[in-house]
Chains A and B, each alone.
Chain A
Amino acid sequence: MGWTRKVLRVNLTTGTCVAEPLNMEWAQDYLGCRGLATKYFTTEVDPKVDPLSPANKMLMVTGPLTGTMASTGGRYSVVTKGPLTGAIACSNSGGYFGAEMKFAGWDMIIFEGKSPKPVYLYVENDRAELLDAAGLWGKSCWDTEETIKASHQDPQIRVCSIGLAGENQVLFACIINDLHRAAGRSGVGAVMGSKNLKAVAIRGTKGFGGIRDFPAFLEVTNQKKKILADNAVTGQGLPKYGTQVLMNVINEMGALPTRNHRDVQFDQASKIGGEAMHEKRPTDGKAQLVTNAACFACTIACGRISKIDQTHFTVTNNPKYWGATGGLEYEAAWALGAANGVGDLEALHYANMLCNEQGMDPITFGTTVGAAMELYELGLLTKEQIGEEAPFGSTKAMAHFAEITARGEGFGKELALGSKRLCAKYGRPDLSMSVKGQEFPAYDGRAIQGMGLAYATSNRGACHLRGYTVASEVLGIPVKTDPHVTEGKAELVKAFQDATGVFDSAGICIFTSFAWGLADVQPQIAAACEGDWSMEKLALMGERIWNMEKQFNLAAGLGKKDDDLPPRLKTEACKTGPAKGLVSGLDKMLPEYYQIRGWNEDGVPKRETLERLGL
């Protein structure tokens, strides 16, 4: 539908919902979703704003391909200033919520201010109103969605909400839609909680329209779906094993961060990977994985639907967790498992369910537990302080922490601050495996050098989805590069970062990039949207978005010191595996990266760079 050309501005302080036209001039420069919302956000919000204050804004936004038949065209993003990082935050989610927003006729919803009491936004096509959420406050994301659908007597409403984690402003709270899809990182759920906004419920019945050239769009989207279907990764590997298939790959090549990055290989990796989810359990003869699942319009279907072993100690007396629900994906399984040395697949699924139920980012949660376990092993935390024996590998401690963190109970209040603040409090800030306060995902920056640079320079803190050079360095997509060398990585990282900005701004899933290049996305955008959408324009747009985010961060007070890795990755070499002896070569890559970006030696975009990008 290209754009609906409508923005809904919701002032939570005054309780007003006002429609306004989409800025089509900006849409031509920033397309939609991540790019366009960041343009709005950075124009309207002081970079120095306290992320959890009413002056911060939160934007929910679709892309021009969201809600269409373009494969994976169901994405929406949440853009705000992140409380975990103090940097720009943009968290992207699939499911069905984004498409429903489009069907109701909205490109974007801008939330500003703070409601004096808990509310939720209810949108039914053109009608939007804030409703009392007193009866929802204190409920989980799962119960909130069910209650809203029941109260409106409409099971087809799509809901995104915060759970207890968002209400309690856990700094890595996420926003959950469709029960187990998440705008997951940087604490966007805490911002929503700070505004007393419990949920957004949308019913859209307008369908989609407004495609610039519908016959061409139909033809090109079908062609591109065939590419996804015929590709062995997107047509076979991801549907069958999901992202979890990477657990054994990354472990084998010695790049699986283990026990708070002390190690790079986990001896129990094969027990918690994608293949293990297919294995029948001795207890009940059933595999944990029930089936795969797809988000709106997705023809890949990498999602996992799983069932826990009912005899597992975590749920024996708690049947509400026995049903089929969103299962482990690679990042969650790694963070809850290898990152803290836990090799119990059922416990990982349990903790992942709690993260979905109460709206917590399992990456930051799991890695913060890993940091806590290291502090415990060093004697800086004691059982008396945290309520559990918590050495690396303690399944019981990990599961317990998952229960108390969202609820803000006991030591959970400290875990809720993330590893940076936790480690600083106990005198070892160096043990936080994070960049800009956001924890690493599941690839070691020493064994995959490009990822070290991608983490250090990511505008939203350590993140794999801002420049996934794993595709090239490990998987050979589009070309194989050596993960152990630093040469050429600055250019590689920049290319991935800029291209990702285009995928994210179109409203499609980045996983299409395992089979699609920009040349596959471009004709879909061109058929859907008015204007010139050449390859050159899109490539420039991706770079523009990256620089716009960078400028916001610089104005927020971040600088070169924040484009850095923890000392462990720069001084403690990998102990085992093919990368044994390697540390990150960030010191070699970063200056080259700045140069290629057209930034000065302090990482500040030069005037000519900004002029070239129209910033």
Chain B
Amino acid sequence: MKITLKLHANLMDRLPPGTKGHAVVLDVDDGTCVGDVLAQYDLPPKIAKLVLVNGHYVAPEARAAAPLHDGDHLAVWPPVAGG
């Protein structure tokens, strides 16, 4: 299945070379969970502070078992804030 991985702010550096913008489409195995993708990109909870699947928050303790589905958008941010 295909998912879109979006890495934002300084996590953009982890995207494959040549990636335009902050998103890349990935081919992943059925049954892949959020935690699997984060592990592949070396994104432990301390770095991946804010993780959203289709805009919904995924808590650190839920990531390992949170399944991804075809067409999902997985977006990740380091600790950020604004005003």
Contacts and interface: CB of A to CB of B under 8 A. Distances in A.
Nearest to A578: B55
Given A241-B9, A249-B50, A252-B55, A471 B22 contact: no
Interface stretch (B24-32, B33-41, B63-71, B75-83): B75-83
Contacts of B57: 253, 480, 482
Nearest to B55: A578
B22 A578 contact: no
Contact of B49 (A232, A253, A274): A232
B50 A237 contact: no
B21 interface: yes
A264 to B, nearest CB: 10
Interface string B42-57: 0000100110101111
Contacts of A248: 6, 8, 22, 75, 77
Contact of A253 (B8, B12, B52): B52
B59 interface: yes
A233 B81 contact: yes
A329 B83 CA distance: 8
A73 B8 CA distance: 31
A274 B9 contact: yes
Contacts of A591: none
A491 to B, nearest CB: 20
Contacts of A233: 79-81
Contact of B78 (A232, A270, A577): A232
A475 to B, nearest CB: 5
Contacts of B73: 252
Interface size range on A against B: 35 or more
A240 B81 contact: no
A275 B83 contact: no
Contacts of A476: 49-50
Interface string A221-253: 000000000011110111011111110110011
Nearest to A577: B55
Contacts of A365: none
A254 interface: yes
A361 to B, nearest CB: 14
A271 B14 CA distance: 20
A249 B8 contact: yes
B17 to A, nearest CB: 16
A510 B83 contact: yes
A237 B56 contact: no
Contact of B8 (A242, A245, A510): A245
A287 to B, nearest CB: 14
Contacts of B59: 480
The range of chain B's interface size is: 20 to 34
Contact of A236 (B22, B50, B55, B79): B79
A238 B81 contact: yes
Given A248-B8, A249-B50, A237 B55 contact: no
A330 B9 contact: no
Contacts of B52: 252-253
Nearest to A249: B77
A465 interface: yes
Given A237-B78, A471-B81, A475-B81, A245 B50 contact: no
Nearest to B46: A232
B79 A237 contact: yes
A468 interface: yes
B79 A275 contact: no
A246 B9 contact: no
Given A245-B8, A274-B9, A275-B9, A464 B83 contact: yes
B7 to A, nearest CB: 10
Of A232, A249, A514, A577, most buried by chain B (CB within 10 Å of CB) is: A249
A463 B50 CA distance: 24
A275 B80 contact: no
Contact of B83 (A236, A237, A254, A511): A511
A274 B10 CA distance: 11
A275 B82 contact: no
B12 A237 contact: no
Contacts of A270: 21-22
Nearest to B73: A252
Residue of B22, B54, B82, B83 ringed by the most chain A CB atoms within 10 A = B82
A564 interface: no
A232 B11 CA distance: 13
Given A243-B82, A475-B49, A577-B55, 16 more contacts: A232-B49, A233-B81, A236-B10, A241-B9, A241-B10, A241-B80, A242-B82, A245-B8, A248-B8, A270-B21, A275-B22, A330-B83, A480-B59, A482-B57, A511-B81, A578-B55
12 contacts: A236-B78, A237-B9, A238-B81, A243-B82, A244-B82, A245-B81, A246-B80, A249-B50, A249-B77, A249-B82, A275-B9, A578-B55
